Amino acid sequence: MSTAPSFDRRARRREQTIDEILAAAVRLMEAEGVAGLSLSAVAREVGMRPPSLYQYFPSKMAIYDALFRRGAEAFRDVRRETVRTAVAADPLELERICTIEFGRWCMANPIHSQLLFWRTVPGFTPSPEAYAPAQETMEDLRGNLRAAVAAGLLHPDAVSDDGIALYTSVTAGVLSQQLANEPDASYDDGRFTRLLPAVLEMFQQRYAPPRG
């Protein structure tokens, strides 16, 4: 007799339990702060004894790592879906649309945003597996800016390491200010998020294409 159906049920139950644990962790971080998470509190939230929780996550850092990975995957997928469905006249317009969607995603997912873009947890470093989707997103960004360079819309230095660092610094900085000062505002009404188009114009002016 095949044991596959039984194995599949156990695997599904395990994944469901992992989902419940991570959702509970997010709720607790929303109330207590990202760095204030404790395994005992997570266990109580899901009605589980701490030793049972260790069967799924051996440490608090493992929970942070799983949430980082899920956040990185979600943001990568949102960006790629935006690229797939956007109607844009040129690569710069497409990148503007992607950056706005980045802002909306960050406002809707503040806990994941703090893990992804700000060092809010002392001692936490994502594993290579958790960080891989974030690297894919950076390559997607670089590819889109390369297309803008090829179209004569940006200087080639825009895709240098300094150019990418500047782009991510100014865009993430706007979102950091928004989440720190007006976390409950909508993306459209935020005092800082409204500045995002201006920030993108500044980047484009800094890396304007060479004349002629």
* pLDDT at residue 211, rounded to an integer: 80
* pLDDT at residue 1, rounded to an integer: 52
Distance CA 132, CA 148 (A): 25
Query: What digits encode the pLDDT tens for the residues 62-84?
Result: 999 999 999 999 999 999 999 99
Q: Is residue 212 pLDDT above 80, yes or no?
A: no
Question: Token match 């802002």: residue?
Answer: 103
| Domains of the chain (ranges, CATH numbers) | 1-58 (1.10.10.60), 64-206 (1.10.357.10)
Contact 43, 49 (CB under 8 A): yes
Closest to 185 in 3D by CA, of 196, 173, 194? 194
Query: What digits encode the pLDDT tens for the residues 131-173?
Result: 999 999 999 999 999 999 999 999 999 999 999 999 999 999 9
Query: Residue 114 burial by CB count (10 A; 0-12/13-18/19+): exposed, middle or buried?
Result: buried
